Amino acid sequence: MTMAPAPRLQWSDALLLGHGPMDRTHREFVEIVDAMLVDDDTRFADHLAAFIVHAEGHFGDEDRWMADSGFPAMGCHVDEHAAVLASAHEVQARVRAGDVAIGREFAAELARWFPSHATHLDSAVAHWLVKQRSGGAPVVLRRNVAQAA
């Protein structure tokens, strides 16, 4: 029986939103989740711990940007961040007890969730923040998006 290859989450310009700090944080998110997906089991707990530290900062920054700028639709966005962090902590407890498989399932779910979250929720925040700062929409130059799709 042939095993299916591990899912991947890899950065591409298709994920760019036009807000530099958010784009840099998102790239780091992708790198950490991809490491969780493909690295061996002996390093998984370390990657999950790094993900939690990253997510706390990442989501905290976005939540603060939304609050500080008066972003009108922040409620469900903040709730989604909180739910992901709560799940990460629950999964971490199970991974510490030896259940790396549940950790891998969580990482695969993050890989499915993130592109949609970024495209639908984070893009609205990026647009709002850039408009607040510069009075116009973000300019996003994407290379090789067709290859990333």
**CATH number (domain holding residue 69):** 1.20.120.50
Range of the domain at 57: 17-148
pLDDT at 136 over 70: yes
Mean pLDDT of 83-89: 98
Closest CA to 106 of 32, 57, 37: 37
Q: How confident is the model at residue 19 (pLDDT cuts 50, 70, 90)?
A: very high
Does residue 7 form part of some domain? no
pLDDT band at 3 (very low <50, low <70, confident <90, very high): low
Q: Judge whether 106 and 86 are in contact, CB under 8 Å.
A: no
Query: What would the pLDDT profile of 41-80 be if each residue is shown by its tens digit?
Result: 999 999 999 999 999 999 999 999 999 999 999 999 999 9
| Average pLDDT, rounded, for the chain | 91
The answer to whether residue 6 is domain-embedded is no
Contact present, 129 and 65 (Cβ < 8 Å): yes
Q: What is the pLDDT of residue 132?
A: 86
The structural domain count of the chain equals 1
**Residue 117 falls within a domain, yes or no?**
yes
Q: pLDDT at position 5, please?
A: 63
What DSSP line would sit under 94-148, residue for residue? HHHTT-HHHHHHHHHHHHHHHHHHIIIIIHHHHHHHHHHHHSSPPP---SSHHHH
> What is the token pair recorded at 76?
């469900």
C-alpha span between 27 and 13 (Å, rounded) = 10
pLDDT tier, 149 (very low <50, low <70, confident <90, very high otherwise):
very low
Is 11 within a domain? no
Structural domain includes residue 9: no
Contact predicate 16/142, CB 8 Å: yes
Residue 120 lies in a domain: yes
Type and span of the H or E element at 93: helix 74-96
Share above pLDDT 90 across residues of the chain, in percent, rounded to a whole number: 82
1 pLDDT exceeds 80?
no
pLDDT value, residue 148: 45
Is 4 a member of any domain? no
DSSP label of 83: H
Query: 113 with 53: CB under 8 angstroms?
Result: no
Q: In angstroms, rounded to a whole number, what is the distance separating the alpha carbons of residues 110 and 87?
A: 11
What pTM was estimated for this model as a whole?
0.88
Indicate if the pLDDT at residue 143 is higher than 70. yes
